[in-house]
Amino acid sequence: MTENNTAGKPVMVFKYGGNAMLNEQLKTEIITNLLDLKSCGFDIVVVHGGGPFIKELLLTAKIKSDFIDGHRVTTPEALKYVEMALKGNVNGDLVRLFNKHGQQAVGLSGKDGKTVIAEKRFHQAEGQERDLGRVGNVKTVNPQLIQTLLKANYIPVITCVASDESGSDYNINADMFAGHIAGALRAEQFIVMTDVDGLMTDINNPESLLSEVTGTRIAELRADKTIKGGMIPKIEACTTALEKGAKAARIINGTKPDQIKQQAGDQKPGTLIHL
């Protein structure tokens, strides 16, 4: 595995999701801020989920969808609609927006070029093993295709569907998927965009924002349920990225697009995650 990528530029991997995906003005501002970073000499990789779009499509298809610790339980029938929403809707729209702004974006899933090999996930919740259906973990990442695209000045836009070694498809939590991608690319920064300013000890008190947390503090906050629900995979994604080779990991507010370009400066908003 090469350091950063074959072009030698520092890589920033952004996990894009949440309510920032639903507002057209916000989407445009996010794209322009990402391109500002690219103009500053960074290579940009965008990894996305699409929870709101999946939810809408499953409701239309009258398919029930439950969550366990932030992970969507996915039946074989539901997986068809999950992939339809992620690849046919969200991915294509993001590629369109990048291209509209004069860039060359390429839409991918983990299946393309065998970039990600999945394995079935059995989730531990409250001391019990829970079967999440067609939900997978990332088993391996081959960053070669992504690096080739970056070297050619393309912007990879990647969604979180992948196949296992036998060819069975899986939906993978987008946060965790992104963390593995960032680690494999040895990203300069892995940035998780969410709907809040970062990790807070009191979700209703903005002043409780933690500017940085260590692994020990993370364990304490998980034990007392401060870290719960959808924040669990975001924190796990950051620690995974760092363990796999990323240099820094941070959670920021995707509904405040200026926080994106501030990642190139000295005063970075959000919560910095340490091992």
Q: Which string of b and e fits 100-122 if b means at least 16 CB within 10 Å? A: eeebebbbbbbbbeebbbbbebe
250 CB-near residues (< 8 Å, 6+ apart): 189, 190, 191, 192, 198, 238, 263, 268, 270, 271, 272, 273
Strand partners, 124: 129
Nearest-angstrom CA–CA distance, 137 and 124:
13
The answer to whether 110 and 172 have CB atoms below 8 angstroms apart is: yes
Strand partners, 269: none
Query: Which tokens belong to 13?
Result: 């991997």
The answer to whether 82 and 49 have CB atoms below 8 angstroms apart is: no
Strand partners, 192: 15, 251
200 closest CA partner among 253, 122, 148, 128: 253
Sequence letter at residue 18: G
Extended beta strands in 110-178, E state: 116-125, 128-141, 155-159, 161-163, 169-172
Nearest-angstrom CA–CA distance, 147 and 153:
10
Kindly state the DSSP code that residue 111 receives in the 8-state scheme: T
What is the model's pLDDT at position 70?
A: 65
Kindly state the DSSP code that residue 248 receives in the 8-state scheme: -
What is the model's pLDDT at position 223?
A: 92
What is the model's pLDDT at position 66?
A: 82
pLDDT tens, the chain, 275 aa long: 344 444 479 999 999 987 778 888 999 999 999 999 999 999 999 999 998 899 999 999 999 888 877 677 899 999 999 999 999 999 999 999 999 999 999 999 999 999 999 999 988 777 788 888 999 999 999 999 999 999 999 999 999 999 999 999 999 999 999 999 999 999 999 999 999 999 999 988 999 999 999 989 999 999 999 998 889 999 999 999 999 999 999 999 999 999 999 998 888 999 999 98
Domains of the chain by range and CATH? 11-273 (3.40.1160.10)
Tell me if the pTM is above 0.85.
yes
**163 burial type by CB count under 10 A (0-12 exposed, 13-18 middle, 19+ buried):** middle
Strand partners, 130: 123
Which helix (H) or strand (E) covers residue 83, if one does? helix 76-83
Work out whether strand 155-159 and strand 271-273 pair parallel, antiparallel, or are unpaired: unpaired
The answer to whether 136 and 119 have CB atoms below 8 angstroms apart is: yes
Nearest-angstrom CA–CA distance, 82 and 86:
6
